[in-house]
Structure 1
């Protein structure tokens, strides 16, 4: 079951990692300008902040969360297909952006929504190692996705790359549908039975069912946010991950600019992102058990990530930038694994889906903010943009360390 889960996760996340570059390549090929594709990508990103909590409610209340996850994958793939077809057919950009916004509501299903189902597959005894493997799937996707787009787009164009991306999302559907159902009995410490409408519950009935249903959804969304805010460990991990992700976005935006400055071409800059992903993959393979010291690993990983970004900012040669990217990846990989371990350990069982999808939405929003801020900074001075990204990693470490120390002293 775990093997099937991992195969589906790698397929879905690689398809997701391919979608952005494929849309950019398609937009450039059709219009000659990145403006259309960038507006579509902005729509996909922004709406995730709204979609995450709502998806969490659906997953937590579902008798078959895998089935809900499958429908989300199908909807996301269908939305991407409509956007790509619209680009090729010269549909107005405003219409495509609107489709992207609706599609983006389902985006957190590919990240937090999928990971939230891991305890159903692995069980408590294997959860630590399974969490490391799950976070490695992000690194694999980060490596394979852009590389596949480059190869396929060179051979068959951006539309073909986008179609392969959609095909990978569709190929993940059987794994999603095959996920097991949760135990209807309340687990110890999970805060009670599953909400009404979940396994063993009943849905609102009667003429005001729609109104009652929305009230339930609203209360469930609030419960998910309360679960994060009220738990000190979970709150610190979430806030720190948001700050760190904002800084990581600055690295992603700056990498092509740095590559162009050091090598004369932007292509080698994109390879720096692959080096970061590879560093994370190797580090996670070495440090496959982090659940016991998750909070400490998250802080240490964030510090190493920041140190690598500083090396990139100070690089005078391309190979020095490669070393910095490898160091950054060595921190980013375990950092993500530790974050997942904290969520699995601290989230109430009946709200686990909401905690994961809400956390994913908050990180996606932070990434969007960091990307927007990094553009002008990188255009002015790429080293300054990278140092800003490193400073945000230091701030994230401070969130993890200072508040935990204050809690011990209190």
Structure 2
């Protein structure tokens, strides 16, 4: 079952990673309008902030979350095809509207799958499965844009969009056979109440709260690195394409780091006691800090790099931080998310990171216009802010706040953190 899950999740995520760049290329090729092309990409991503929490409620309410994921795959693919068919034929506003509606389903293609992982594997196999799941994000981030580039060069941007939809469809069989969960006792509350419960679960649990905020702030810094990479490649190697190579190096290093984690997790699972596994799980909280610091160090080195070789080294350091950071984030969510709102924790987290990425990209634009080094220095500073946020959110809350309806109270969380 894990193998089928991994194949489905990888196909879904790769199709998701292809969708934005493919629409951008297709829109520019068909209409010749960079404004429309960028607007389609923005519409596809910006609406994820609203779609994530709502999708989480739906996933948490149903006994067959795989079927919901299947319908989301169909809806997302259909939306991409409608935009593709309407390029040059429908008004720009209508196409952007379709892209926005399609983007509402975006969080289901990543966080929606990850939330179902405990249904696929038992608790003893979850650490290794979690690392493998994080690896699928790294593979998708590496393969998606590369596939768009190759397919668009050979057959055009429209073919790249179709190829992305084909991958989404290929994930359908795996989604349909995901295990069912136990029936939820009692009647579900109103959607507004369910949404509030999901946000309370994140805000009221120290580990979830700080992991979510840390990853959000860090994602804004990562966006600055991505925006600056092409100009950094141009400055150091004379071609913006070398910037894409730096991003590929980062994705490859992240994949390698998570492969090591998955291998180590498989070895530990076979010989550790349950208490040892619990202590290892709690170490993921510290791993969030260390990995975020590594991303910041790598970004800083890239900012001051005087040669392309040094920039490659910086990209490796960033990747070695990015891979474990994602694994650590998922490990904390799997450990702390209450079953009743698990889907919301993952899809809301995905939405928040997408929104943070958009904000970081917007801030990076004016800085890159000054110099890629300025944007990279800002990105390194944002990573330090993420570490500072983790530290601040680790401080104990006032005692009068008491426990939250979902998740452990602060006293229990404090006891767990002390091991």
Normalising by structure 2, we get a TM-score of 0.89
1:373-407 Cα distance to aligned partner (Å, 9 max, x none): 11111111111101111111111111223432557
Query: Contact conserved, 1:46 with 1:101, CA < 8 A, in 2?
Result: yes
Equivalences for 1:249-398 in 2 at 5 Å?
249-288=223-262, 289=265, 291-398=281-388
What is the match of residue 276 of structure 2? none
Query: Structure 2 CA distance, aligned partners of 1:267 and 1:58?
Result: 42
What is the match of residue 95 of structure 2? 96
Query: Contact conserved, 1:80 with 1:166, CA < 8 A, in 2?
Result: yes
SS of the residue aligned with 2:187? coil
Query: Contact conserved, 1:276 with 1:325, CA < 8 A, in 2?
Result: yes
Distance 1:403 1:119, change over 3 A: same
TM-superposed deviation, 1:195: 5.8
Equivalences for 1:3-18 in 2 at 5 Å?
3-18=3-18
Q: After the TM superposition, which of the residue ranges 68-77 and 311-320 deviates more from structure 2?
A: 311-320
Q: After the TM superposition, which of the residue ranges 34-43 and 233-242 deviates more from structure 2?
A: 34-43
SS of the residue aligned with 2:281? coil
What is the match of residue 135 of structure 2? 136
Query: Contact conserved, 1:309 with 1:324, CA < 8 A, in 2?
Result: yes
Equivalences for 1:61-140 in 2 at 5 Å?
61-87=61-87, 89-140=88-139
What is the match of residue 228 of structure 1? 202
TM-superposed deviation, 1:194: 4.7
What is the match of residue 211 of structure 1? none
Query: Structure 2 CA distance, aligned partners of 1:219 and 1:373?
Result: 34
TM-superposed deviation, 1:92: 2.0
Q: After the TM superposition, which of the residue ranges 280-289 and 157-166 deviates more from structure 2?
A: 280-289
Query: Structure 1 CA distance, aligned partners of 2:250 and 2:177?
Result: 32
Query: Contact conserved, 2:63 with 2:182, CA < 8 A, in 1?
Result: no
SS of the residue aligned with 1:179? coil
RMSD: 1.7
Runs of at least 5 residues in structure 2 that lack an aligned partner in the other structure: 266-279, 398-413
1:220-263 Cα distance to aligned partner (Å, 9 max, x none): 00000000001011101111111001111111111111111222
Q: After the TM superposition, which of the residue ranges 151-160 and 256-265 deviates more from structure 2?
A: 256-265
Query: Contact conserved, 2:50 with 2:351, CA < 8 A, in 1?
Result: yes
Query: Contact conserved, 1:194 with 1:350, CA < 8 A, in 2?
Result: no
SS of the residue aligned with 1:91? coil
Distance 1:195 1:312, change over 3 A: farther
Query: Structure 2 CA distance, aligned partners of 1:126 and 1:55?
Result: 27
Match of 2:391 among 353, 378, 401: 401
Q: After the TM superposition, which of the residue ranges 400-409 and 117-126 deviates more from structure 2?
A: 400-409
TM-superposed deviation, 1:175: 0.6
Query: Contact conserved, 1:51 with 1:108, CA < 8 A, in 2?
Result: yes
Distance 1:195 1:310, change over 3 A: farther
What is the match of residue 178 of structure 2? 179
Query: Structure 1 CA distance, aligned partners of 2:160 and 2:139?
Result: 18
Q: After the TM superposition, which of the residue ranges 31-40 and 280-289 deviates more from structure 2?
A: 31-40
Runs of at least 5 residues in structure 1 that lack an aligned partner in the other structure: 185-192, 198-214
Query: Contact conserved, 2:24 with 2:40, CA < 8 A, in 1?
Result: no
SS of the residue aligned with 1:293? helix
Query: Structure 2 CA distance, aligned partners of 1:162 and 1:319?
Result: 34
SS of the residue aligned with 1:287? helix
TM-superposed deviation, 1:94: 1.1
Query: Structure 2 CA distance, aligned partners of 1:361 and 1:256?
Result: 26
Distance 1:131 1:42, change over 3 A: same
What is the match of residue 196 of structure 1? 187
What is the match of residue 167 of structure 1? 166
Query: Contact conserved, 2:11 with 2:170, CA < 8 A, in 1?
Result: yes
Residue 237 (structure 2) pairs with residue 237 (structure 1): no
